[in-house]
Amino acid sequence: MSGAFARLATVRRAALVMALLCASVIATEIRANEVAVLDWRQALMDTDQAQRSLDQLKSRLSDQQRQVRALADEVQSLQKRLERDGDTMSDAERQALVSELRDKGSRFQRQRGRLEQARDEQEQAFLEQARPKLDRAIKQVVEHHNIDVLVDRDSVIYAGESLDMTREVTSTFNSLN
């Protein structure tokens, strides 16, 4: 998890540097004719292809999700039982219940971890597969609007709706073969 945060921090720093460079270029005499913003993640996740991929993932993992939910419910039930009846149980009963709770809690953690890993792998595979098409869609929108500078929307403090190309990139992506 810390690796993901480190990568996110690095990406944000790079985006900030890029935004500052863009701002300095715009402020000089070499002015960009057209500046726009794009939330590429949103543009990609709103595509028909992403929705199909998410639906396939949900379908493929639905049994595992049900198992994880059922195990979570069992763990919660055992915890409630221990809290409710723990004081009146014999030591042997309490130890058996605690042991069962630990076992099911461990199984829940492992299964949830596998499920999250499968989701992450599927998402990464989709991103790698869809990236060239996203790049083509972005290029078409940039050329159509004669955009000189396209900035990640997360790097911008304020941008009017007319500068946001996210929906158009999604639409262009959906129209590409």
The pLDDT-based confidence of 29 (bands split at 50, 70, 90) is very low
104-120 average pLDDT score = 93
pLDDT at 30: 44
Number of folded domains that form the chain? 2
The pLDDT-based confidence of 22 (bands split at 50, 70, 90) is low
Q: Do 22 and 84 fall within a single domain?
A: no
Look at 137 and 1; give whichever has higher pLDDT.
Answer: 137
Q: Do 17 and 92 fall within a single domain?
A: no
Question: Could you give the dihedral angle defined by the CA atoms of residues 2, 124, 153 and 7, in that order, rounded to the nearest 10 degrees?
Answer: 20
Range of the structural domain that residue 23 is part of: 1-31
Look at 2 and 166; give whichever has higher pLDDT.
Answer: 166
Q: Are the C-beta atoms of 58 and 112 separated by less than 8 Å?
A: no
pLDDT at 14: 60
Q: Do 19 and 75 fall within a single domain?
A: no
**CA-to-CA distance for 14 and 104, rounded, in angstroms?**
43
Q: Do 23 and 91 fall within a single domain?
A: no
Q: Do 96 and 22 fall within a single domain?
A: no
Tens-place pLDDT, residues 120-161: 998 899 999 999 999 999 999 999 999 999 999 999 899 888
Tens-place pLDDT, residues 73-83: 999 999 999 89
Q: Do 20 and 74 fall within a single domain?
A: no
Helices 91-144 and 166-175: crossing angle in degrees, nearest 10, is 80
Q: Do 6 and 56 fall within a single domain?
A: no
Q: Do 69 and 10 fall within a single domain?
A: no
Tens-place pLDDT, residues 32-52: 568 999 999 999 999 999 999
Burial of 36 per CB tally in 10 Å (0-12, 13-18, 19+): buried
> Residue 83 carries which side chain, given as an amino acid letter?
E
Angle at 42 between CA 36 and CA 43, to 5 degrees: 65
Global confidence as pTM = 0.62
